[in-house]
Amino acid sequence: MRRACEARIRLQMPPHRLIAAIDSPALGGGLSLSLACDLRVAGNDVTKIGLLESGLGIIPGASGTQRAMRLLGLAKAKDLIFTGQALTSTVALEWGYYVSTPGTTVFDHSLILAEAIARNAPLALRAGPSPDWRIYPWKQVSILKGRCMRHF
């Protein structure tokens, strides 16, 4: 678990942007991994998206709780985590979890996004929207504190 958490933190540290292409259910650790990416692309055939750990008697690890809160907002993240229910792709899209793939496959749309991003100046991309902890260093505390408390 410690390695998984460290890998997700490393994903947010490089100067390049990351796109998660989701073509199957994103549950538990899969959802947590996608939350560490800058953008998430999913197709309409993705039937389930959720943090199901509470149904197993555990909480989402690898900073999944903090990242869900930052992406979806506190109320929606609590709903997702406390109920342990999976969202449909329609609800996940409405909540802002991912961008849709109108008329293309997940991978084609991811490639289109990557090419559009790559056409921009690298320095502008580095200075652009960054993970919360780069913009607001005090928000980093909750992820680091959570890691230390769990000590995985």
pLDDT in tens, 63-111: 788 888 888 888 998 998 899 889 888 888 899 888 877 778 889 999 9
Task: Write the CB contacts of 63 (distance below 8 Å, at least 6 apart in sequence).
Answer: 5, 8, 9, 32, 36, 143, 146, 147
Which amino acid would we find at residue 143?
A: I
Q: 0.75 exceeded by the pTM?
A: no
Euclidean distance between CA atoms 103 and 123, whole angstroms: 32
**Token pair for 65:** 């709780």
- Which sequence spans correspond to the domains of the chain? 2-147
Q: How confident is the model at residue 21 (pLDDT cuts 50, 70, 90)?
A: very high
Topology (CATH) of 2-147: 2-enoyl-CoA Hydratase; Chain A, domain 1 (3.90.226)
Confidence of residue 129 (pLDDT cuts 50, 70, 90): low
